[in-house]
Amino acid sequence: MALAFIGLGSNLGDGRRNLLAAWGQLGRQPGLQLLALSNPYLTKPVPKPEWLATGRQLGEQPFTNAVGVLESRLAPLELLRILHQVEKNLGRDQGQSPDRTIDLDLLYYDDLVLEDAELILPHPEMAKRLFVLAPLEELAPDRPHPRLGLTTRQMRQRLAFDAATSVRRLGWDDDLPG
């Protein structure tokens, strides 16, 4: 069995409910066993430059993010297909809008380093994303990145503080900040 880390995100509707629904669907998939889910984290939407260049805008609703760890008997590409199916089941629109009810990213699959047309492992952007590293640090602070050789904690500490991209840890049952 492989240890896989999954990034979960949502900025449409009830983000925490969307993340829990996705996590629950993953837990019902043959070949997957859920191990742990981080607390949810609230972040301001951060547009990608390529979205802005094409006129695509993110909504104003903050993103809710978490990271989960599971054991998988599936090959990495099979797991990726399951993640895409769960996104589709929960109403992910792959069209023009960068907003999403759910976004699932395969961050790590054991220590596999892979560059495929469909999948790059570890996730190529994770070391730059506080909204991934903060919940990942909660679950695996000392896990080394197989390419960078840095732990999750070290990668998070290397990110400069920026109020626009800061994260706020929530509980699953907390009231949302006003």
**Which residues are identified as catalytic?**
92, 100, 103, 105
Q: How many CB atoms lie within 10 A of CB 37?
A: 22
Six token digits for residue 19: 């993340």
How big is the chain by its Cα radius of gyration, in Å?
15
Spatial contact of 152 and 143, defined as CB atoms under 8 Å apart: yes
Sign of CA dihedral 6, 124, 90, 60: positive
DSSP lists the bridge partners of residue 7 as 67, 105
